[in-house]
Amino acid sequence: MLENLRPAWIVTRRELKDQFRDWRIIIPLVLLALVFPGLVDFAAGQLVDFIKGYGANIFADRLIPFMLMVVGFFPVSISLAIALESFVGEKERGSIEPLLTSPLTDVQIYVGKLAAALAPPLLASTLAVIVYLVGINFQLDWRPPGILLVQILLLTLVQGIVMVSGAVIISSQTTSVKAANLLAAFVIIPMAFLIQGEAVVMFWARYSVLWWIIAGQVVIAALLIRSGISYFNREELLGRELDSLNFRWGWRVFVEAFSGGEKTPLAWYRRVVAPAVQRMRAPILAMCLALAMGIWAGAGEASEFALPTEVLNLNNLDQGFINGLDAIRFFSVSGVGTVWIHNLRAILLATLAGFFSFGVLGVLVLMMPLMLVGYFMANTAAAGLSPLVFLGALVAPHGLFEIPAIVLAGAAIMHLGGTLLAPSHGRSIGEAWLRSFADWAKIVVGLVVPLLLAAAFVEVLLTPRVAVWLLGG
């Protein structure tokens, strides 16, 4: 494999020479690598002195590692602009034809462009981290623990790869720099949310969580690179003349894939929905494993964040339990609608999150209810309640409908996210995604929505009575 990729360095060297001759790239990199860390050092010193003046020493100590992460990230953000220009920018300038007509393979061209977009920002980021550490050592006599420094450097590396690989896909699938810049929001917005999450982790000093964040980004980066290589085609890049949205064509493809040409609901379920479920056997199995892991992870957190004993007191459960249920309109038809709409919103949120992450974030959203189940089950077990009684009283009645719905929805989201990972021969990326989205709609409309409605009826009208009967007696 390495031997086959060796010619890719020809492309990388060519790109790097062009970049280092462009002052619009060099000046921002130099400023972010040398000037920005100095400003952050000065700001860190002032903020630490100010915060310690109010006795918040812990917050001050955690501010410095957070700023180290910021210093490492900002130069990498320049990679987004470089990557967005990689293919479509050259096409607009008319300089890409010699490269695409060379004997290099599509994979070699793609990997060469990817490496060239990533190398200068990573070099600048490493230099910025060194400048920041030297400055903060002189100013505050602070040195990072070795493990934390490794985590920050790895975070910088994988975030750069994620951003570059996503931006290169956009550059290879659009026909103008303007369109590529607009679509860059699909990279910038998820990364912004990720940085906010990392900031929370840094300020809480839960540095072990950073390993999971790094591992997750490695997976997403690998998926993005695979997707980009799968769908890159030099002939299409040369022949594509104009970005246009053909809504009529898209709607026709979706309706055809969704209905399958069937006229009756029974035939639709038998000949359209059932084959769609069969195609998702592997995602269904993966989703079952993910939910089991969610229960296990939630139970693991119970030992560290145990509920107070008085909260788990089962004495006089009847009146307090029912009062709490009445507050959210249980035992009523309106409560059924409330629970049903809430669950549907969760499915849509998971689908939207999965759209930005090849299904990964969507699965994590759907794992959360099972994590809560595992957490409360472990807490009540510590108070003397059997896990089987807990599950039978509070989960099993409506879970018989809700858990299969979660499994099917998660499998459909994974299937939708996985569409971009492998080429669909004879179909464009847009048509492949529309047909996969139609599969998602079949599962959700035909199975998930009815199952969630049934689960809402049971959860509102039956589960509370079962819980009072089993736990209050």
- Supply 327's token pair: 């507050």
The least confident of 133-147, 263-277, 339-353 is: 133-147
- 320, pLDDT greater than 60: no
Cα→Cα distances 65→44, 45, 194, Å:
10, 13, 17
Is residue 306 within 8 A of residue 379, CB to CB? The reply is: yes
* Rounded Cα gap, residues 223 and 277, in angstroms: 24
For residue 306, the 8-state DSSP code is P
The count of residues in the chain is 473
**Sequence-distant (≥ 6) Cβ neighbours of residue 274 within 8 angstroms:** none
Query: Positive or negative CA dihedral for 422, 425, 429, 432?
Result: negative
Boundaries of every domain in the chain = 2-239, 247-471
**pTM listed for this prediction:** 0.72
pLDDT in tens, 42-54: 887 777 777 777 6
* Rounded Cα gap, residues 255 and 436, in angstroms: 12
For residue 307, the 8-state DSSP code is P
pLDDT in tens, 424-461: 666 667 778 888 899 999 999 999 999 999 999 998 88
Amino acid identity, position 150: V
The least confident of 144-148, 167-171, 284-288, 319-323 is: 319-323
